[in-house]
Chains A and B, each alone.
Chain A
Amino acid sequence: MMSSDTTLKVLTGGYLFLFFAYLFLPLIFMAIVAFNTSSIPQVSPWEGFTLKWFGELFSDAQMWDGLLNSIIVGAAVVVISVPIGLGGATLLVRLHFKARDFLYALLVSPILTPGIILGISTFLFWDRWVNVTGGLWTAIMGQSTFISAYCMLLIMARAQRFDLTQEEAAFDLGANHRQVFWKITLPFLKPAIISSCALAFMQSFENYNTTLFAIGFKQTLPIYIGTKLRVFISPAMNALAVILIVLTITGALVYELVRRRETAQAHAADERQL
């Protein structure tokens, strides 16, 4: 009995180790390469520590152009997707009608569609049909098609937990629809709306597939990275990877710490109640 439990533990531990090694080792290699002097991106032979690849990256005007475009597109996607997601979530959670399931399937279908198809159809619609030349606008439209669905799902998850009698109570106390929304519903949905803003921006910021087909001759940061990696591989890309990894880890840690503090506060409140 004892031995089979021990075996299970060893197996589990070994598996966990391998899994996370598989997840992180490639990223660590990639990061180390950024500091190797060798102009071919590689870990060995190690030709000495350098920061020059960061310098090369920062002096690349195209990188800055891509970054700026990424930020513009990301901000626009947030401005478009979050309100759409809010509208869709409110409709699907609150109104019960026959075609509701069908509409739901239609609205989440962009998530289940390959990104390149969204990019192609968006480009054909705007560039070939409406005559808006492919560029940042078409990229924004293409990305918002599926990012709106993610926002909707996030907001829906919270809206489903909303106690409707709160709205009724507010009505009963004399509030109109506008007041109920701003004073009761929106404050409740606020956390989901904030996280859907973050999600929308990050999804947009790292989108490649949809953007590649939708954006025409302009480029966002991922398009810039893709071109570089296909055409001319330089350790400057490793330097960019290091920056993005550091930013991501910082973001994840901050998020986790905030979340923990909030759950701790919620726990404390629960205990006071008991």
Chain B
Amino acid sequence: MRSFWQNAVRIFGPIGLTYISITVGAWLLFMILIPQLIMIDFSMRPLLPLRKIGGPEDIWTLRNYMVLFTNELHRAIFLKTIWSSIIVTSVALAICYPISFYLAKVTRGARLGWLMIGLIIPYWINELLRLFAWQLILADAGILNKLLMLLGFIAEPLNFRAGNSAVIVGMAYAYILFMVFPLYNAMESLDRNQLDAARDLGSSWLRIHWRIVVPHAKPGIAVGCIMTFMLAAGSIAAPQLLGSPSSFWFTEVIYTNFETANWNQGAAYATVLALLCLVFIFVMLRVFRVSLKELAQ
């Protein structure tokens, strides 16, 4: 331990080490760890009137978590959120795989630069506005209904927002770029010669992707899926703007808890959501057989 600090002082100098300790220490303690622990603490305490807080009834309990099992509506919403988020993730992966490969290995030069700008611009436009655009498209008097009626496919406007489809479509649109960039980065490092060699050996394009590109891009695919799933499951803007009462999202349940000042129940559900994302990360790591370290690159 002593040699650790000696080494640190030698590398950073006393002022540098102080600076690093203060910045990283404050970040880690007061922004990452303690708030999370406080949230867990809240989640394990019952909702009590102010005068009873700190009293004999203010004990740790898992009651708030049990609500998720006893309240059928909440449970259904929770399961639907998981399922829908998986669909969003799959759709985003399917849409983004070809474009990522095209950008990483097919095109180059100025064309690549312009296409990248084309990707980045929507990325920097506020998420809410991106979803608003779909609100306009999918509204009862929206452009999609008008178009379908004009073409004679339907006689009456369809209510797209009744089920989950509007939310899923909006999310797939809003979070698509969080899938593209990890995939692109992973595929970019693939040596073009490997593709040529495989083609030279008579492999079909499909097989080249399955045997060479996908294994190489595994960490990127894992990161893209993790990011997209996390954004979808944790999204509140999309269900708020595109959803209807019938497509309530788990985050909206949490929000309602906070609006009604039931901090404890809200904290418990937030913790469940965090655990869900953690589980998804580990599932992805298992499915793609990548380590956390590979993920970091």
Contacts and interface: CB of A to CB of B under 8 A. Distances in A.
Interface of A: 8, 12, 15-16, 19-20, 22-24, 26-27, 29-30, 33, 40-44, 83-84, 86-88, 90-91, 94-95, 97, 101, 103-110, 112-118, 120-122, 124-125, 128-129, 141, 144-145, 148, 176-178, 181, 202, 206, 208-209, 212-213, 222, 225-226, 229-230, 233, 237, 240-241, 244-245, 248-249, 251-253, 256, 260
Contacts of A249: 121
B11 interface: yes
Contacts of A91: 20, 24
Contact of B32 (A115, A145, A177, A226): A145
B99 interface: yes
Nearest to A237: B132
Contact of B28 (A43, A97, A106, A117): A106
A112 B230 contact: yes
A90 B258 CA distance: 38
23 contacts: A16-B99, A27-B122, A33-B136, A84-B23, A90-B20, A95-B11, A97-B4, A101-B292, A105-B292, A110-B32, A116-B254, A120-B39, A121-B270, A122-B35, A124-B263, A128-B42, A208-B126, A209-B236, A225-B129, A229-B241, A244-B126, A245-B125, A252-B121
Contacts of A181: 13, 16
B19 A87 contact: yes
A42 B236 contact: no
A19 B12 contact: no
A206 to B, nearest CB: 5
Given A225-B128, A225-B129, A256 B121 contact: no
A210 to B, nearest CB: 10
B189 to A, nearest CB: 14
A256 B113 contact: yes
B24 A84 contact: yes
B62 interface: no
Interface stretch (B140-148, B153-161, B192-200, B208-216): B140-148
A35 B176 CA distance: 28
B178 to A, nearest CB: 11
The 10 lowest CB-CB distance pairs between A and B, nearest first, are: A114-B234, A177-B13, A87-B23, A26-B133, A121-B35, A125-B35, A121-B39, A30-B133, A145-B31, A87-B20
Given A106-B32, A120-B258, A206-B127, A115 B234 contact: yes
Given A116-B234, A120-B267, 13 more contacts: A22-B173, A30-B136, A33-B136, A84-B24, A90-B12, A112-B227, A113-B277, A114-B233, A118-B35, A241-B133, A244-B125, A252-B121, A260-B113
B281 interface: yes
Nearest to B118: A20
B251 interface: yes
Interface in B236-259: 236-237, 240-241, 251, 254-255, 258
B115 to A, nearest CB: 8
B64 interface: no
B163 interface: no
B224 interface: no
B136 A15 contact: no
Contact of B141 (A42, A108, A148, A251): A42
B173 A26 contact: yes
B128 A229 contact: yes
B238 to A, nearest CB: 10
B59 to A, nearest CB: 18
B130 interface: yes
B226 interface: yes
A40 B141 contact: yes
Contacts of A245: 121, 125
B47 interface: no
A97 B4 CA distance: 8
Contacts of B32: 106-107, 109-110, 145
B29 to A, nearest CB: 11
Nearest to B31: A145
B230 A113 contact: yes
Contacts of A115: 234
Interface in B85-105: 95, 98-99, 102
A16 B115 CA distance: 10
B294 to A, nearest CB: 12
A29 B143 contact: yes
Contacts of A144: 31
Contacts of B16: 90, 177, 181
B97 to A, nearest CB: 11
Interface in B169-210: 173, 176, 205
B46 interface: no
A229 B132 contact: yes
Nearest to A145: B31
Nearest to A44: B146
Contact of A107 (B27, B117, B274): B27
B34 interface: yes
A41 B230 contact: no
A245 B291 CA distance: 39
Nearest to B296: A104
A125 B173 CA distance: 34
